[in-house]
Every structure is written in C-alpha cells, then in structure tokens.
C-alpha cells in the first residue's frame, strides 16, 4: 500500500523510519521527485530497480546531507570539493572513486568502483536524509522509460502500489535533472548536462570540462570498469559439471550438487528481489573462494530477472562490456 501524504515533520520522520526498515519513499528535490531507499541496504536498493522496472542496473545517485557526508562515501579531489562548496546544496552531481569505508552498497553503484553524490537543495529532501542519517539512493520516481515526475500526483500515477510512501512537497522548482561531473579520469568530465550550466562550473574550476570518452557516454552498465568475476560462468545451467561450482536460484542446482561442491543460492525461495540484492556479493564470494568455473541456474526473464540476466551475461562474457550501447 502506498501512503500519499503532505510533507511535514511528522510524515518525514515516518518516511525516515520506512527507509530504515528497507522501504521505499518518494520525495521532492529541487530537480524532480526521487524514489528513495537506504543506500546502505542492497535489499532496499533492489526494490528501487524492481519498482522502476529497469531492464539493467544503472548506478544511482546517493543523496547526502552535506560535504562531510559526501567525503565519507567518496575520495573527492580538491577540484571536486571546490565544486561542492560552490554548488551544494544544489543540482550538481559529483562522480568520484568510492571511498573504502563508504556505506553505499555495491548494488547502488551497479558494481562500479565510483559513486555519484549530490546534496539536494530542497527542505523535504534534506530533512529526510538527515533523519535517516545515511545516504539515500534515489533515481527519478517514475517507471523506466517514462518522463521524470515533477509533482506527487505524477509519482502516484507511475508508482502507486510499488512504493511505501510518497511525500508531497508540491511541484519541483527546476524540472531539469542535475548536471553530472566526473572526477574519475585525468580531467573533470561533463557526463550529463543539467540544471547547473557548464559555464558556471568551468568558471569555478578555472578550466574547461572534458567531453566524456565513448565508454563514459555509453550507459554505465556497458562500461568495462564494472566488476567482472574471475570465475568463468556458464549460464542457463541445468546441471553442475565436474570441476564446477554453482550460482543457484530457487534451489534447483543445490538439489543436484555433489557433497563438497561450492553452491551459492541467490535466493533459495526463488525471489528475484532477494537475488538482485545478493548478486554482487555472491559474484565476489565466488572469487573469494577461488572458484574458476561456475554453473549458473536459469533465472526467469521477468521483473528484476531481466536486469540480473543482463548483468550475468556481461559477467559471463567480459568482452561484451566493451561493445558500444545501441
């Protein structure tokens, strides 16, 4: 059930509690409405992808309270800090290498070694983030492929029944998405033009922003820097062959495993949201256990299964990640 309520201190506190318990709360920012979850919880973040119906795991922007909170999540070079001081709170998103002790889960980053951060300039967004006390992962609060919502009614049209709460804070001011600048390469790079003009950013930096190289313009899901396991994956497996470990779904391969075989089940109950929440951790776990070959169970191509299969296909054929997006 979705609670649609006007945003006041009571409903914001309830919203923070919902986030703490792994729920989804849509909230206004100065750009568009965001679909928020606790960025530290892979389970909650999996629910975002499920609610949006995204066919792949795109990395999400982590919304934080202030520069200090951002510094706990990312390694910010001086130039990035300069932009943060000039434009935060505001419609600028900074992408930088994820900090080792950061709280955002790998699923929120879609497996990338970098993280996107923003301090939004909207009292409701800021109160919600402060009340949670952790970063809030939030893409725009619409179904995949639909336009970004600028009113709570738009959010309800798309996501009613799919989120726990919609905080109504009126029409958003900008309607334009945030400008995204990356500090992962040799020079600051404009990944997406948005509400903060390029010229303003360049004036603060005292330098031109670079254009993204091809790999960066491609949907981030396509880039080569995604985590790829060392283990060779054999997808759609109906049996475990000699020398293989297994990545299971719904217990199918587990039932066939010889004693001593390493089997990790993404979701013994066959729940696709649980499987998405476990995916990155289990791919790493295969490597941690020194697995060289793994059979991967069939995962149904519905709901989050589409995004899970997309990610598994890239992991199975690392060369694929170099192919430009269509």
Q: Which of 93, 140, 223, 278 forms a contact with Mg ion (CB under 5 A)?
A: 140
41 binds Mg ion (CB under 5 A): no
CA neighbours closer than 13 Å in the CB half-sphere of residue 233: 24
115 binds ligand AMP (CB under 6 A): yes
Q: Which of 28, 36, 53, 59 forms a contact with ligand AMP (CB under 6 A)?
A: 59
Bridge partners (DSSP) of residue 96 are 115
93 binds Mg ion (CB under 5 A): no
Which of ligand AMP, Mg ion, none does residue 108 bind to, with CB < 5 to 8 Å depending on kind?
Answer: none
Q: Please give the Cα distance from 116 to 16 (Å, whole number).
A: 21
Q: Which two tokens stand for residue 95?
A: 């992408």
178 binds Mg ion (CB under 5 A): no
Q: Which of 124, 125, 150, 180 forms a contact with ligand AMP (CB under 6 A)?
A: 180
80 vs 218, which CB is nearer to Mg ion? 218
Three-state SS across 233-249?
A: EEEEECCCCCCCEEEEC
Q: Which of 177, 265, 274, 306 forms a contact with ligand AMP (CB under 6 A)?
A: 177
Nearest residue to Mg ion by CB is 140
Three-class SS state of 94: strand
Which of ligand AMP, Mg ion, none does residue 82 bind to, with CB < 5 to 8 Å depending on kind?
Answer: none
115 CB-near residues (< 8 Å, 6+ apart): 59, 62, 73, 74, 95, 96, 97, 98, 102, 104, 108, 109
41 binds ligand AMP (CB under 6 A): no
Number of residues that bind ligand AMP (CB under 6 A): 16
Token pair 């994820």 is at which residue? 98
58 binds ligand AMP (CB under 6 A): yes
Q: What are phi and psi of 253, to 5 degrees?
A: -80, -30
191 binds ligand AMP (CB under 6 A): yes
CA neighbours closer than 13 Å in the CB half-sphere of residue 314: 26
92 binds ligand AMP (CB under 6 A): no
**Which residue ranges make up the site for ligand AMP (CB under 6 A)?**
58-59, 61, 95, 109, 112, 114-116, 139-140, 177, 180, 191-192, 220
């Amino acid at each position: 059930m979705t609670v649609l309520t006007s945003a006041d201190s009571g409903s914001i506190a309830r919203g923070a509690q919902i986030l703490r318990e792994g729920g989804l709360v849509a909230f206004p920012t100065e750009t568009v409405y965001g679909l928020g979850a606790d960025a530290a919880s892979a389970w909650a973040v999996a629910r975002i992808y499920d609610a949006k119906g995204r066919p792949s795991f795109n990395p999400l922007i982590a919304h934080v309270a202030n520069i200090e909170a951002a510094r706990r999540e990312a390694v910010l070079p001086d130039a990035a800090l300069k932009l943060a001081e000039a434009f935060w709170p505001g419609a600028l998103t900074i992408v930088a290498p994820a900090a080792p002790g950061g709280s955002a889960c790998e699923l929120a980053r879609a497996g990338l070694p970098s993280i996107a951060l923003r301090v939004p300039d909207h009292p409701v967004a800021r109160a919600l983030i402060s009340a949670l006390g952790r970063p809030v992962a939030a893409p725009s609060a619409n179904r995949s492929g639909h336009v970004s919502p600028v009113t709570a009614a738009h959010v309800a049209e798309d996501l009613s029944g799919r989120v726990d709460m919609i905080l109504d804070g009126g029409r958003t001011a900008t309607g334009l998405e945030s400008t995204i600048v990356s500090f992962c390469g040799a020079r600051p790079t404009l990944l997406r033009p948005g509400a903060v003009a390029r010229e303003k950013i360049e004036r603060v930096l005292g330098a031109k922003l670079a254009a993204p190289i091809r790999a960066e313009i491609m949907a981030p899901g396509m880039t080569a820097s995604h985590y790829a396991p060392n283990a060779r994956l054999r997808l759609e497996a109906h049996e475990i062959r000699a020398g293989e470990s297994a990545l299971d779904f719904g217990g199918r391969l587990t039932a066939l495993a010889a004693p001593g075989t390493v089997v990790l089940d993404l979701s013994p109950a066959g729940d696709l949201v649980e499987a998405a929440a476990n995916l990155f951790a289990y791919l790493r776990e295969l490597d941690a256990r020194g697995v060289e070959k793994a059979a991967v169970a069939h995962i149904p191509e519905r709901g989050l299964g589409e995004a899970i299969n997309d990610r598994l296909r890239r992991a199975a054929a690392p060369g694929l990640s170099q192919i430009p997006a269509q």
